Structure 1
């Protein structure tokens, strides 16, 4: 079980990528960079009209207002102006979406459905250019200048996107190069010595046949949490990202896009602050260990699209992804080894997907097959009350699936949708547990198991109907079923736990909604009501009885049944020339209907408790205003506020680990030149410098641990961007 079998110099690869691609552009004849920004509005009613948006939620391009389901698109321009740089920033724009964690990994929740353990299969699937990201490790950042947009799909997406999308799916799409030469450069500075640079170049190598692009982002920022024991500032940021693309179009019926991306991240794991030690402050920690975390992510993908007939298209998506991750975490923040771990991870994924897309007027369909193989190795050194241990595990997961979804127009206004996916998964698992000394030298083998296997089949399905009320309004209703994969307890403390797999968690979902526009398209919005029924909910339980056998210890098991239901609203309004108001809100009820209680202790009966990390209310609102001043360009301001009501961090709903209400205000000021070539921007996130506990709160009385993590302080940045 040897981890990190090879060393990769991320900085060298980034530099080489930029030099090679830059040389290609310099050697290409006739280079003349052209602007990529839209022409400025000339005023009038057209400027107040809200543009329609094209989405790919159904694996093909469709109008947002003609696509049934709860979908929130976030454009590349919105990502820049709102400074959305990672998954944890998205929740300020999407109703029903929340996150915990942050850099370097983010656990996502949609409608109360999510997974807090980054090593377990997620409940919200993340896709980058249609390639699935299997784990939360290293998933947070997508801060590259070629990101074209993000789509958040709420509700189970198992038919088209597979297992582990019971909450929904997030699709991140990057721009493909074309026949136009284009580019941009961004420089940004800010408090805490922040500095960010972005470069994007794209254009043809052989016009009409071969084009290329390169995107790069480098970020640095000093820390803001003071470690009083070791006298340094934790929570710093140090990342480099790059993506290269080649697009080949030998004729007008075939397109091939080869992409390579890399991420090198040496940022700190967010520091934990003790609440019951010393002069406790919101950003002071006492950890005796200084960690040097590192994350290297590398991926290749090849997407080939071919038009078989005017009505039939075939698409192939081949991909490989590698993650090497040193992920430390001190869970107490105390000046001794009270609770924490350092884990080394090595993750590899190979995948192949084939799609057949048909468009026959009244009938549209997507059919396909997927194969995915993933290896996940972990070497985890842990300490608890100055007792030290090591867990080594190796997992191999193989997924295969066939799927199809079709839409059929019964009339010009009424359409039916049906989808089905059949999948099969095989898990292989090796696991060993050792006692160690404080330097993590092995002193005794506690247990070792090898060659464990677990197989499971999965069926996801969808039925729906939508009705075009008139040219502006669409109504819909749907029933869907999805599942979250099972598997083995990767951090088992004894052989008994290691040998018992957890079954898949299933969700049956019902949704009705309406979306549309009014007042000459100056108002757009959607309203959705949903109901989710959980079976075999995966949760950690102590000393359960499984298949008639008492399992001693903490076990991830199918411990509960649960129900979530609620309502979501999002709207965009342009009441006046130059003024835009956006509002997104969700109300959620998420409770356990039943919960396994092997001891019979009333304190362990969690039926009726609220699901962890589920907020009753999530509200986001923003105002954008273009000042009517006599400048040669455009001066605008954005004021936004984000609210999330209190939520619990555990199944027991202990008040001691309850996260309080969150409310943050962000402010931005932007100036664009008349030709939109220059953009100057000043942004302040967490404008009033709130110091709220968020997402992570621990109370372990037996260890004397009470700790938490705090949101980032006020971060102010100033940037200039030049497009060519």
Structure 2
């Protein structure tokens, strides 16, 4: 698809739907059982589990359902606001941009958005192949469903960890309108609107959702003398529902988002094992990068990054869904979608340091690590599905096709810290890649009701994944201009270029992958089997086995032709068992799930043999084996008419069972066997309380709070102490008043009441400082959470 065609998609999504944010059409997509976070114990919650409607407590899969009331009272605007609240789910509270969301479920995910996610994200059954193309607002989302464990049978590749489903509201004949406007700390302004109703009663209904979210930067930058890490997103969705007959339903959706928030800037700190006085400092503020003479004191949410953060991101799409009922037993569904996004440009700094002279040989002020990127993507998906339903047997089966073209152009200004006072900084390296993906799948899953209480579930999906990859690496000067090999042949052989003030490593010279393996096809079968038993009217048990598959791919971050190689698919075999119960006349609900995940060929950075160079290289590849195990507890209760309680607990163990390699030439040895996965706390807790005070003829007051806590975890695979994130938690509170007629709603929300700051990750910035009083000090950087915010909102619904 050429650039004009992609622009047309974005026009349909972001320009046509000018100032809104959006999603797409849903009528039946898998969303298995769980606790709904709207405090209504005893409610007969219906979910579209296994892509058909079932009662929440009678669905043999673990899933959490986040409803509208919970999101409203807790001021949940984006998926990131759910961090720490959903059992088994981990998501970083910050990202490169608001549209970039990475998710981990039960320890499995992918923190690098340039590669395939391991947790599938769906908007009304439409798959989003990249974490870059995420959701920035949940305006017309009816519910968020978090499915835990492999979803390969009904959802396909890249859902081995689980799936996040956004289910948007479908318009009907009844006129519905709602809107809200809110103001808060850091000049926060959030406005949302939704209207739906009949254009032609009984035949054509429509809905329109709009959203705008903005706030000033949460982080102070002394280098730029301004606040950074702000938000400025606008988006919306249009939805049409056409029902020409009682058997035929056609839903058309167009959505889009414009994100002009600043790109992320990170906070700097230090670590020195031999001299603790040199740990927990801030950024270098004097001298050169080779021999610093001064550091700032560490301050939370203060970044010294020297480049102004830039972000111009857009996403949008068009979806057509057709649902046709053949008879009382059979129904047909077709879901067709065309989506695209671009980030062009995005400039983000990931060192948190001020720009300083490199050393005596290069006195120009440079960044240690900075990125200037342009991403473009478009995709087409088509799913055809048939569903059958009889008394003793029901099934869902279908065919699925996906085409995606993802183009990336990423200039990495990774100069590193100088090793000598005469060294020149490394030349910025431009990674230019294009990946074309084709997915062909066929799937079926059915339930045999052996008795009124016992059900056997079985199914599987056959997947063919084909990819073609073109890639080139180009050395640039410090201004981002490609270096001409005719003038400076060092870019083809390596060496210093004094005239440009940079050096080129012999292992990182201009190259293309035209002469190496650049197309590959993988095949996989992902089965599922399970038993469920309705032991009593209020006790439901299930056990199942499922296999997940994450597609193989190519290294979009290659630094040499020898590393521009394919990596293999990742698979997981999961064994799961759970119980779902209601007690005391449905006033207490307790659901618990235990699981064991056995992973093969876990996708990560490894030492692998390169047939191009005949040597071992560090590249993206596969760790032979790993596992996770644990359990999740979800409870909600209503001990009195006016008191609602929620408590969730996640226990997670992660281990690499085989992840080691000896040294090969310049490739160092490593042994991560027995280590924990990075970024995964062992224990997570969440609790909330809501107290309702009826005022009779004067309306209703609700007040409450919530809190989450997680134990410490490591940011690195080696589990080094300097990269340990300490245990931490956050507390939130709200006060809500609703008028007697239910039309007006006023909410006061406070988040992070204690104004606590923690790194969500910590990463090194080059090697340790080599010279001067600070020699041996390691520079670290990482993202931190938002500060305490107070927000007041007025909402009207009709």
Is 1:598 matched up with 2:590? no
How far off is 1:93 after superposition? Answer: 3.0
Secondary structure of the residue aligned to 1:309 is: coil
| Compared CA separation, residues 48 and 247, structure 1 to 2 (3 A) | closer
From 346, 354, 371, the counterpart of 1:327: 346
Distance 2:611 2:449 in 1: 48
Is 1:289 matched up with 2:332? no
Is 1:371 matched up with 2:390? no
> C-alpha deviations, 1:280-321, integer Å up to 9, x for none?
211211112112201100100001000011110000000011
How far off is 1:550 after superposition? Answer: 5.4
Any conservation in 2 of the 1:489–1:501 contact (CA below 8 Å)?
A: yes
The residue aligned with 1:354 is 384
Is 1:655 matched up with 2:705? no
Secondary structure of the residue aligned to 2:698 is: coil
Secondary structure of the residue aligned to 2:661 is: coil
Q: Map 1:398-437 to 2 at 5 A.
A: 398-437=438-477
Is 1:268 matched up with 2:262? yes
> C-alpha deviations, 1:632-678, integer Å up to 9, x for none?
11101121010111111221111111222120000011111112100
The residue aligned with 1:27 is none
From 569, 578, 582, the counterpart of 2:646: 582
From 442, 448, 454, the counterpart of 2:482: 442
Distance 1:550 1:226 in 2: 49
The residue aligned with 1:487 is 553
Secondary structure of the residue aligned to 1:160 is: helix
The residue aligned with 2:324 is 306
The residue aligned with 2:297 is 279
TM-score, scaled to structure 1: 0.92
Any conservation in 1 of the 2:552–2:568 contact (CA below 8 Å)?
A: yes
From 578, 581, 591, the counterpart of 1:516: 581
| Compared CA separation, residues 419 and 549, structure 1 to 2 (3 A) | farther
Any conservation in 2 of the 1:416–1:464 contact (CA below 8 Å)?
A: yes
How far off is 1:328 after superposition? Answer: 2.6
Q: Map 1:35-50 to 2 at 5 A.
A: 50=42
How far off is 1:621 after superposition? Answer: 0.5
How far off is 1:143 after superposition? Answer: 2.4
| Compared CA separation, residues 407 and 571, structure 1 to 2 (3 A) | same
Distance 1:548 1:410 in 2: 56
The residue aligned with 1:570 is 634
Distance 2:470 2:532 in 1: 48
Secondary structure of the residue aligned to 1:69 is: coil
How far off is 1:545 after superposition? Answer: 3.2
Secondary structure of the residue aligned to 1:89 is: helix
Secondary structure of the residue aligned to 2:57 is: helix
From 760, 770, 773, the counterpart of 1:694: 760
| Compared CA separation, residues 652 and 550, structure 1 to 2 (3 A) | farther
The residue aligned with 1:710 is 784
> C-alpha deviations, 1:366-393, integer Å up to 9, x for none?
0000000000000111111243121111
Distance 2:731 2:9 in 1: 39
Is 1:468 matched up with 2:534? yes
Distance 1:255 1:411 in 2: 34
The residue aligned with 2:692 is 626
How far off is 1:423 after superposition? Answer: 0.6
| Compared CA separation, residues 447 and 5, structure 1 to 2 (3 A) | farther
Distance 2:613 2:542 in 1: 47
Distance 2:545 2:4 in 1: 44
Q: Structure 2: give runs of 5+ residues left out of the alignment.
A: 21-38, 271-282, 284-295, 356-366, 416-424, 484-490, 493-509, 770-777
Distance 2:604 2:127 in 1: 24
Distance 2:693 2:189 in 1: 29
Which structure shows the bigger proportion of residues in strand conformation? 1
Any conservation in 2 of the 1:382–1:390 contact (CA below 8 Å)?
A: yes
> C-alpha deviations, 1:467-522, integer Å up to 9, x for none?
11011110010011111111100010011111x21000110000011002110100
Secondary structure of the residue aligned to 1:496 is: helix
How far off is 1:75 after superposition? Answer: 1.1
Any conservation in 2 of the 1:138–1:295 contact (CA below 8 Å)?
A: no
From 421, 433, 445, the counterpart of 1:393: 433
The residue aligned with 1:105 is 100
Distance 1:436 1:18 in 2: 37
Choose 1 or 2 for highest CA Rg: 2
Distance 2:620 2:18 in 1: 45
Distance 1:551 1:275 in 2: 36
How far off is 1:702 after superposition? Answer: 4.6
Any conservation in 2 of the 1:11–1:240 contact (CA below 8 Å)?
A: no
The residue aligned with 2:170 is 176
How far off is 1:213 after superposition? Answer: 0.6
| Compared CA separation, residues 4 and 274, structure 1 to 2 (3 A) | farther
Secondary structure of the residue aligned to 2:244 is: strand
The residue aligned with 1:33 is none
Is 1:138 matched up with 2:204? no
From 710, 718, 726, the counterpart of 1:644: 710
> C-alpha deviations, 1:149-183, integer Å up to 9, x for none?
01111000000000111110111011111100110
Q: Map 1:51-70 to 2 at 5 A.
A: 51-70=43-62
Any conservation in 1 of the 2:744–2:795 contact (CA below 8 Å)?
A: yes
Distance 1:78 1:681 in 2: 12
Distance 1:605 1:14 in 2: 47
Is 1:191 matched up with 2:185? yes
Secondary structure of the residue aligned to 2:443 is: strand
| Compared CA separation, residues 281 and 8, structure 1 to 2 (3 A) | farther
| Compared CA separation, residues 608 and 17, structure 1 to 2 (3 A) | closer
The residue aligned with 1:89 is 81
Secondary structure of the residue aligned to 2:102 is: strand
Distance 1:338 1:324 in 2: 26
Segment of structure 1 superposing worse, 633-642 or 89-98: 89-98
Any conservation in 1 of the 2:398–2:442 contact (CA below 8 Å)?
A: yes
Distance 2:370 2:602 in 1: 27
| Compared CA separation, residues 520 and 235, structure 1 to 2 (3 A) | same
From 521, 525, 550, the counterpart of 1:455: 521
From 369, 372, 375, the counterpart of 1:345: 375
The residue aligned with 1:216 is 210
Q: Map 1:551-562 to 2 at 5 A.
A: 551=615, 553-562=617-626
How far off is 1:55 after superposition? Answer: 1.1
Is 1:76 matched up with 2:150? no
How far off is 1:551 after superposition? Answer: 4.6
How far off is 1:227 after superposition? Answer: 1.3
Any conservation in 1 of the 2:610–2:616 contact (CA below 8 Å)?
A: no
Distance 1:545 1:554 in 2: 9
> C-alpha deviations, 1:119-157, integer Å up to 9, x for none?
11111101001100111003142322x211011110000
Distance 2:69 2:177 in 1: 15
How far off is 1:553 after superposition? Answer: 4.3
Secondary structure of the residue aligned to 1:79 is: helix
| Compared CA separation, residues 428 and 602, structure 1 to 2 (3 A) | closer
Secondary structure of the residue aligned to 2:701 is: strand
Segment of structure 1 superposing worse, 445-454 or 637-646: 445-454
Secondary structure of the residue aligned to 2:581 is: strand
Aligned residues between the structures:
695
